Structure 1
Amino acid sequence: MGFSCKQEEQTQLQKGPNIIYIMADDLTIQAISAYGGIYKDIAPTPNIDRIAEGGMLFHRMLCTNAICGPSRAAILTGDYSNVNGYYKNESGGKFDSSKWTFPQAFQKASYESALFGKWHLGSRPMGFDTFKYHNSVVQQGAYWDPVYNENGRDVKQRGYATNLTTGFALEWLDKQKNSARPFLMLLQYKAPHRPWRPDQKYEHLWDSIEMPYPKTFNDLYKGREETAGDTEMTMDYLTRGDLKFKTPDTLKGEEKIAWEFYGAGKEEIVQPEKMTYQEGRRWRYQKFIKDYLACVRSIDDNIGKLLDYLESTKRSENTIIILTSDQGFYLGEHGFFDKRFIYEESLTMPFLVKYPGHIKPGSQNGNIISNIDIAPTLMELANIKEDHKMQGRSFAQLLKGENPKSWKNEHYYHYYEFPFWHHVQPHFGIRTQRYTLAHFYYNMDKWELYDLQNDPEQIKNLVGNPAYKDVLVDLKKQLSLLQQKYDPNNDLDDYRRITEKNFGVISDKKENVYSRNYME
């Protein structure tokens, strides 16, 4: 008996893999035990590690612009900020929803598509049959009792956001388990983004211990005083809200916001009375890191629920599972929290992929890959062919364990936002297997060069070191070629105008800006 057209279409669709793309906000490799590090035994992530054990762990997945919205836009479009038009969060406007994104291509190819959790691009998500995304505080979302936009309608949910978002995803998976169509699901957690509010059961998880400190916690920024040494993302800039000081019940509205925001300004040091400065600095780190890792613990729990569900319903064999973040994050390295710099901790994204029968379990990859390469890779894995051109390139061959000679050996980076938030100078640069070169250009002309083989912590700026004169010349040439390839139409004055331009949606009141970005 022959197949009908409809049966043939369904048979073809069944051959395509399901894809679950999990992205946590500000999750970093230092917080994932599969990557090792100083927290692996104290705060392990056994369920995230299951993805690495069953698939491939990437060591050099690098973001193009280490800040939430622009990195998400780069992942969705396969293009740099200068092409997709979304450069920055602060005064960056909204992501242009008319732009091509890979979920739209999957939807067009008859995949069932869904988004749950954090969108954080300002505009309406496109390419999804169903969505339920955080829609309070301009899509930043809240940890507790959050408001979601469910297919165009705001609904308030009771509970903890990480648990709720996973629940929505599992409910949707259960409803479509008998569908003949493959699915694409984006499961995107708010956690562990600032203000790092753990689930109640984990609020005091590590009260009895002192967390270890990164090697560079006491970095003095020698040779980098005007760049790394002149930011507002050190332990000195954690606020009362970050550090969970109890807000007086008498404060309301903007007074309440201002009280909780105290600590973000210069010389507004928040710490218990009678502590010395150094004691307070360590105290602030301990509070921050324990809350951050407690938020990660809930993510790991929920990924465990998802993996267990897929295994129990026998759907894991034809499902690609990806775990990543929008960029890396500092957990006290260089005395920092947050991201933004080209330095390793914020440049490097966690990236783990499991695809049974296609990716060797327990494998690892050290190639340089860019977040713009994710979209074309997903398209190839799903065998979706379109004429749309992207700056990114598929790394599907790398997933198979192959290593083509033509694969790139360098990565181009560009960060634009200044002075809000955190006062990080705009800069662009190149990362090769061994070196990082950065040019800070907005109101200065500073170059930084790091030899990652001899200085993996990036403490010694080698610009001016005669032993690296030829290396510097060569890297500048390579950087120029990358700019010609990815961003050929701009010069330094154009870049400065982008930093200064208000693309829309900005508050003139500092406390309201803070509320939009950080507070629940």
Structure 2
Amino acid sequence: MKKISLYLLLSVSSFIVSCQSKKEAKKPNILFIMSDDHAYQAISAYDDRLIQTPQIDRLANEGIRFTNACVTNSICAPSRATILTGKHTHINGKIDNVMPFDTTQVTFPQIFQQNGYQTAMFGKLHFGNNPKGVDKFMILPDQGNYINPDLITEKGDTTIIGYVTDIITDLTIDWLKEERDQEKPFMMMYLHKAPHRPWWPKADKFEKYSRMTFPEPETLFDNYEGRGTAAKTAEMNILNHMQYGHDSKIRPETLAEMKDVLPVVDSFPNGFYGPYNRANKEQKALYDPIVDSINNVFKENWPKMTDEEKMRWKYQRYIQDYLACIESVDENIGRVLDYLDKSGLAENTIVVYTSDQGFFLGEHGWFDKRFAYNESFKTPLLIRWPEHIKEGTVSEEMVQNLDFAPTFLDAAGIKVPEDMQGESLVPLLEGDTSKWDREDVYYHFYEYPSIHMVKRHYALVSKEYKLIHFYHDVDEWELYDRKKDPMEMKNVYDDPEYAEIVKELHQRLIAMRKKYKDSDELNQKYIDRFYHSEEYKHELENLKNH
């Protein structure tokens, strides 16, 4: 009996160990969620002054929130190329929204596909119409539309009636429910268009938020004193550069009536009717009362407003629509998270939420991004991975979108290609900070001259300091003390107290550029190539028209 009992005990133990081994060896699913231009200031896990985002906050509460996550190049297509390749934009070729992506580059979905993962992509890719390494995709052409969007699929183009944020989510959940191969792990990219300009909310959110008033940023009326040429010449000021029709939802007929009291004419002549005319009769009936109300207030009050009052009015119009778009994103992410919980997929799925870059929400008087300044440079990053990430973790480490691809591959037990320039965040996710020794990150923005006219610049950024070099048609340096001056209002590059720090940071910047294979010669190569291209001629023509 003792022998039999011992045999049974050993057999049961062996079975348990075997089951544990299988569980440990099971590949995690990866759900990568990204919005477009979602500022970290508009996520309540980061800052609750503007909006509550309870669904996105779930990921912070149940996982890790990075407070120093940032991008390598704050503009849409280059950021996405960096995420897909794990390489800086000067390596993958997508330095701006005009230059082509180097299609010989291997993307991380391809590697997942080659390693037995089922892959899918729904939403906004923003460059290329046939993403590599994706088994199933339905993507928006270029920027896409908020209302009744067109979608590119493997089988041809289609149009779906409805609101884009809801539609992308429906497609995502349907794939998880109906098309997923339950014998394979999956890697899905769930990519929102919102809250990208021109911020057309769903009608019910449009009505709700158009009646709300939001706090202004401290630097809304920044005069850029103490900063260089770049900040003073950028064309992204809310009062002077935000479009009446395209952005504030003022009808062209209203503008025509008020032409004698408006300082400029909109440079996007179809800015209002382009998005509005996507709506059908029934949808327009929902939007019209809100649009009419906005236009009536504008007509009645605008002529007698001071410039300060006009700035405040345009800020409220902007932030109302922007936040209304985000509420739809938050609710839809909640739908997906609820499905993961209900289906049992949550326990073995890494869920990532981020944006393709940050965004100015009135800070320094601006909208848009592009700069290495915080609101543009920093991006939200929240990750949930049950049994690996301790709930409610906060990390202040300097991490970038450059790190996403190697992180996903490492978490899945897939070898990271040696030519990827990012680093795996898995040690940080699992709480082992001893394996993370990065002090600085590198940033480089190229798209100038172009819309918003933000000058070319590169930067080295640490937790304490930010050293920026604006170049091409200027040669200016800026240094910000990130601890003492978190709003980046004072350039201390020429301050004698920072002389030794400037010297040290210059050496670190030289080493960083060498590490990532960037150089002035390479910059000039890209500049020459751009200026002699048909794309540049087209871009110049657009600038003249605008």
CA separation of 1:162 and 1:406: change in aligned 2, threshold 3 A: closer
1:8-28 deviations in Å (ceiling 9; x for gaps): 9xx799810111000000011
Residues 77-88 of structure 1: matches in 2 within 5 Å? 77-88=85-96
- Alignment of 1:129 with 2:135, yes or no, is yes
Q: Which SS does the other structure have where 1:337 is aligned?
A: coil
- Alignment of 1:507 with 2:538, yes or no, is yes
Residues 114-513 of structure 1: matches in 2 within 5 Å? 114-135=120-141, 139-176=142-179, 179-235=182-238, 236-239=240-243, 240-248=245-253, 258-260=268-270, 272-385=302-415, 387-404=417-434, 406-491=436-521, 493-494=524-525, 496-497=527-528, 500=531, 502=533, 504=535, 507=538, 510=541
CA separation of 1:382 and 1:234: change in aligned 2, threshold 3 A: same
Distance 1:123 1:73 in 2: 14
Alignment partner, residue 41 of structure 2: 30
CA contact (8 A) 1:13 1:180 kept: no
CA separation of 1:411 and 1:503: change in aligned 2, threshold 3 A: farther
Offset, 1:148: 0.1
Offset, 1:223: 2.1
**Amino acid of the structure 2 residue aligned with 1:259:** P
- Report how many residues are paired: 490
**Amino acid of the structure 1 residue aligned with 2:269:** W
Alignment partner, residue 76 of structure 1: 84
Q: Which runs of 5+ in 1 are unaligned?
A: 1-7, 263-268, 516-520
Distance 1:469 1:382 in 2: 46
Distance 1:495 1:458 in 2: 30
1:173-217 deviations in Å (ceiling 9; x for gaps): 001456110000000000000000100010122334321011111
**Amino acid of the structure 2 residue aligned with 1:243:** S
CA separation of 1:501 and 1:374: change in aligned 2, threshold 3 A: farther
- Alignment of 1:53 with 2:61, yes or no, is yes
1:391-442 deviations in Å (ceiling 9; x for gaps): 1111110000111255211011100011212000000010011000100011
Query: Bigger CA drift: 12-21 or 286-295?
Result: 12-21
CA separation of 1:300 and 1:196: change in aligned 2, threshold 3 A: same
Query: Bigger CA drift: 145-154 or 282-291?
Result: 145-154
Offset, 1:496: 4.0
CA separation of 1:205 and 1:112: change in aligned 2, threshold 3 A: same
Alignment partner, residue 107 of structure 1: 113
Distance 1:429 1:503 in 2: 29
Larger radius of gyration, structure 1 or 2?
A: 2
Structure with more of its chain in helix, by fraction: 2
CA contact (8 A) 2:120 2:188 kept: yes
Distance 1:17 1:454 in 2: 41
Distance 1:480 1:238 in 2: 38
Query: Bigger CA drift: 505-514 or 460-469?
Result: 505-514
Distance 2:104 2:544 in 1: 27
Distance 2:255 2:497 in 1: 62
Offset, 1:459: 0.2
1:210-252 deviations in Å (ceiling 9; x for gaps): 210111111110122411111111112111211101234999x
Distance 1:512 1:156 in 2: 31
CA separation of 1:356 and 1:504: change in aligned 2, threshold 3 A: same
- In the alignment, which of 43, 63, 66 is matched to residue 71 of structure 2? 63
CA contact (8 A) 2:450 2:543 kept: no
Q: Which SS does the other structure have where 1:447 is aligned?
A: strand
CA contact (8 A) 1:31 1:293 kept: yes
Q: Which SS does the other structure have where 1:97 is aligned?
A: coil
Distance 1:250 1:482 in 2: 50
Q: Which SS does the other structure have where 1:158 is aligned?
A: coil
Distance 2:489 2:335 in 1: 41
CA separation of 1:229 and 1:505: change in aligned 2, threshold 3 A: closer
CA separation of 1:172 and 1:335: change in aligned 2, threshold 3 A: same
Query: Bigger CA drift: 375-384 or 498-507?
Result: 498-507
1:419-471 deviations in Å (ceiling 9; x for gaps): 21200000001001100010001111110000011100000000211111111
CA separation of 1:100 and 1:396: change in aligned 2, threshold 3 A: same
CA contact (8 A) 2:75 2:96 kept: yes
CA separation of 1:499 and 1:339: change in aligned 2, threshold 3 A: farther
**TM-score (normalizing by structure 1):** 0.89
**Amino acid of the structure 2 residue aligned with 1:75:** I
Distance 1:50 1:33 in 2: 11
Alignment partner, residue 9 of structure 2: none
CA contact (8 A) 1:27 1:192 kept: yes
Distance 1:23 1:366 in 2: 21
Distance 1:84 1:241 in 2: 33
CA separation of 1:63 and 1:508: change in aligned 2, threshold 3 A: closer
Q: Which SS does the other structure have where 1:227 is aligned?
A: helix
Distance 1:24 1:358 in 2: 25
Distance 2:502 2:539 in 1: 41
